[in-house]
Amino acid sequence: MNPVTIKKVVIALISLSGLGCYAQNQTNNFSIKKSKPVNLVNVFLGSSGDHGQMSPAASYPFSMLSIGPQTYPKTHTGYEFLAKKFIGFTHNRFEGVGCQGSGGNILIKPFLGDDPEKSILIKTSEKAGPGFYEVGFENKIKASFAVLGNAGKHVYQFPKGKKGFYLDLGYAFNGAFVSEEHQMNKNAIGGRVDSKTTCGAGKYRIYFYLELAGNAEWTKQQDHTLISTLANDATSAEINIAFSSVSVEAAKASLNKSTYEKLKAQSSIDWNTNLSKIAVEGNLEDAKLFYSLLYRTMQSPYVISEPNGNYRNTKGEIHQSKDLRYNGWAIWDNYRTQLPLLSIIAQDRYSGMVNSIADLYNSGKKDYATQNEPSNTVRSEHAIVVLLDAYRKGYPVDFSKIADSLVKEVDGLDYKSPDKALESSYDNWALSEIFGILKIKEKADYYRNKALDYKKYWNKDFKDLKRRDVDQMQARGLYQGTIWQYRWFVPYDFKGLVELDGGEKAYLANLDEFFERDLYNHANEPDLQVPLMYNITKEGYKSQYWMHQLAADTVIQNYFNDNSRGIGSYIGKIYKNQPQAYLRTMDDDAGAMSAWYIFTASGFSPACVGWPIYYLNVPLFPSLTYQLPKGKVFTIEVENFSPKNKYIKDVFLNGKAYIKNYITQEDINKGGVLKIVSSAVPVKSSATENWISSITP
């Protein structure tokens, strides 16, 4: 047998074994009518090794404060599931991002005896869920944490004897600490901490206020470290803490002195409300994976405004806004999936997010970070595409106020490498569309022509697939990925891409080869849209196959996120509900990869960010319901549901035959029922109306 045939046999055998497990679990189903999604979330998913870069820290939806364990050894978020030794607990981390992670400010370590360094914390038990984290140690110390909004609480249980807390205000992941200032007042400390952002590109400042309950006082040890000694007969202690991007006074006002149980319970209620925005009906184990990943899509960006509307922009200036303001961006990673998902399930927040992104242009936006960020952040390339996308989904964006800044950004884009040429062309297309919205035809035409220049770059580097380096990572100066993986990145002009590739027949042949040779890389984002790209042809059933395969079945992956091609293939599932989830080296990237799964499991995925269009596939559940504003709901139902039925036979929208291979944001927001009739046999001669992006005026 040839290698392709062997591969198909291996996948078929593994898939059959998986189907047996599925059949056994059919009697154990989940329904939101009987159970709470919050109780299904596994916060330890992706918290071991280089398999997601996530942590089990106590967190709250879109809060800059998250209290989590700092282990030795650690992963990107300061925690390794398999590690037994704890260094202490820190108060922020950017979940799922690369560059060795960032955050880890304000380390607190409980200790026994006189010397914190000699008091070793060895884990014996731990428990965590949305909003809380609890751990027990060999020395009989127990620690519990809960977060509600930008406020949190530590609760400790101690044995009798000498004990206390060690506090390091100069701690941060990967040596990112820059400076701090603080004031002590007996049992309370208030101040600010400056640290380098993700990848060390800029700096952020957080204001904090923490208070140790009782009569214990803090005493200075060294420049940035303090100690508090507790009474020998004390068996418990509490610390309240809050963060702000505005001031110490604002942080102090946010302290929540309610009991641990009340904070934990309210955080759980609020998490459940957010998770219930999508109600799935189906297999319990699948529902656990779904809600564990949905949880990860709601941790950033971070709320940076106070109840009175005050917030700091990226110049460090205090401004005021009627809506919530956000910071903490990973747009280059999650503009494809997480932000579009939030545009549906967090519509009450999304306007504030969009206004916050637009405000970056008023305060000196950079691709990575400024020197005055109000929170930890990553990067913001393609923010212009997100703003265009939001506008077309009905969110107000005043482009006229930021047009000059958009022009400045796009005119300064880089075309030095093949990947950057295609990425930059995407932003030129978005700017052209924005000037079209503003009815400034001359500029719309100018930037449309600049976007069309992608064709010369594509012909130069991506057309010829016979060159020896086309499957090599970082060939020809690519930042990430291969020529094969990047050649498909023309989401705004699929029509033109097919023409460049020699017509539909040649395009399909190349797309088939791409997947047959396992050249696709789900460990990173550059080719994330490619499984959807059969939808612009008559062979859309192949997109339906690959979306299902990548989300829920066995795949073969050769490429990784460390810019390597593995010596041996990875064969198995990508999405797994376990600490060693995801592929090796695969980051969740602030919910980007989790949101990809949520879309695929729901049966629709963004076709091209910038257009409010979603391609259809067969969902992974018999039924999903999206809760929308004004009491509306959008339900996706699957007829003939089965793991074997990966293909769409028919579609009905509100009881009427639906012949399109896509739906729009407007369709979703209207509410109703989308019924997808599934089949184990592909419809190889599709008569659907296909959406194909085109750059023509």
Domain with residue 629: its CATH number is: 3.30.2080.10
Do 426 and 442 lie in one domain? The reply is yes
CA distance 68 to 70: 7
Whether the ω angle into residue 697 lies within 30 degrees of 0, i.e. cis, is no
* Residue 561 DSSP class: T
Q: Which of 214, 248, 275 finishes a domain?
A: 275
The residue written with tokens 């030795």 in the block is 72
Do 614 and 513 lie in one domain? The reply is yes
Return all residues near 34 (Cβ < 8 A) that are at least 6 apart. none
Describe the crossing of helices 418-437 and 399-411 by its angle, rounded to 10 degrees. 160
Tokens for 694, please give them.
């085109």
Residue 421's pLDDT is 97
Q: Do the domain assignments include residue 35?
A: no
Phi/psi for 542 (5° steps) reads -70, -35
The residue written with tokens 């291969």 in the block is 482
Let me know: does 128 contact 134? Beta carbons within 8 Å: yes
What does the DSSP assignment read for 264-300?
Answer: HHHHHHHHHHHHTTEEEEEEHHHHHHHHHHHHHTTS-
- Give residue-wise pLDDT tens across range 134-182: 999 999 999 999 999 999 999 999 999 999 999 999 999 999 999 999 9
Torsion sign across C-alpha atoms 491, 494, 500, 504 = positive
Do 346 and 442 lie in one domain? The reply is yes
Do 268 and 289 lie in one domain? The reply is no
Do 196 and 308 lie in one domain? The reply is no
Q: Do the domain assignments include residue 31?
A: no
Do 345 and 356 lie in one domain? The reply is yes
The residue written with tokens 């820059």 in the block is 178
What does the DSSP assignment read for 70-115?
Answer: EEES--TTS--TT--EEEEEES-B-TT-STT--B--SEEEEEESS-
Q: Do the domain assignments include residue 159?
A: yes
Let me know: does 690 contact 661? Beta carbons within 8 Å: yes
* Residue 394 DSSP class: T
SS3 402: helix
Residue 472's pLDDT is 96
Let me know: does 558 contact 571? Beta carbons within 8 Å: no
Let me know: does 47 contact 79? Beta carbons within 8 Å: yes
Do 412 and 551 lie in one domain? The reply is yes
Tokens for 148, please give them.
């509600």
Q: Do the domain assignments include residue 591?
A: yes
* Domain ranges, residue 405: 278-679
* Residue 415 DSSP class: -
Do 199 and 300 lie in one domain? The reply is no
In this structure, the dihedral spanned by the alpha carbons of residues 523, 526, 531 and 533, taken in order and rounded to 10 degrees, is: 180
The residue written with tokens 């339900």 in the block is 635
Q: Do the domain assignments include residue 690?
A: no
Q: Do the domain assignments include residue 19?
A: no
Q: Which of 240, 275, 310 finishes a domain?
A: 275
In this prediction, the residues of the chain whose per-residue pLDDT falls under 70 are: 1-27, 697
H or E element, residue 184: strand 177-185
Tokens for 334, please give them.
């999650």
Do 163 and 292 lie in one domain? The reply is no
* Region for residue 100 given its phi and psi (left: phi exceeds 0; alpha: psi -120 to 50; beta: otherwise): left
- Give residue-wise pLDDT tens across range 368-402: 899 999 999 999 999 999 999 999 999 999 999 99
Let me know: does 107 contact 171? Beta carbons within 8 Å: yes
Integer angstrom CA distances of residue 552 from 527, 566, 620:
19, 22, 8
Phi/psi for 643 (5° steps) reads -60, -25
* Residue 330 DSSP class: B
pTM reported for the whole predicted model: 0.95
CA distance 419 to 397: 29
Domain count, the chain: 2
Question: If we measure between CA atoms, which residue out of 188, 169, 179, 182 comes closest to residue 90?
Answer: 169
Return all residues near 41 (Cβ < 8 A) that are at least 6 apart. 129, 130, 271, 275, 288, 291, 292, 295
Residue 366's pLDDT is 86
* Residue 379 DSSP class: B
Residue 263's CATH number: 2.70.98.10
Do 261 and 326 lie in one domain? The reply is no
Q: Do the domain assignments include residue 119?
A: yes
Q: Do the domain assignments include residue 51?
A: no
* Residue spans of beta strands (DSSP E) within 494-607: 555-559, 565-572, 604-606
Q: Residues 439-447: contacts with CB within 8 Å, 24+ apart? A: 443/407, 445/697, 447/410
Do 402 and 542 lie in one domain? The reply is yes
Let me know: does 651 contact 639? Beta carbons within 8 Å: no
Residue 12's pLDDT is 45
Residue 3's pLDDT is 45
Do 174 and 210 lie in one domain? The reply is yes
Amino acid symbol at 238 = E
Let me know: does 122 contact 138? Beta carbons within 8 Å: yes
CA distance 604 to 69: 36
Q: Which of 226, 242, 275 finishes a domain?
A: 275
Tokens for 43, please give them.
């916060």
Return all residues near 347 (Cβ < 8 A) that are at least 6 apart. 628, 629
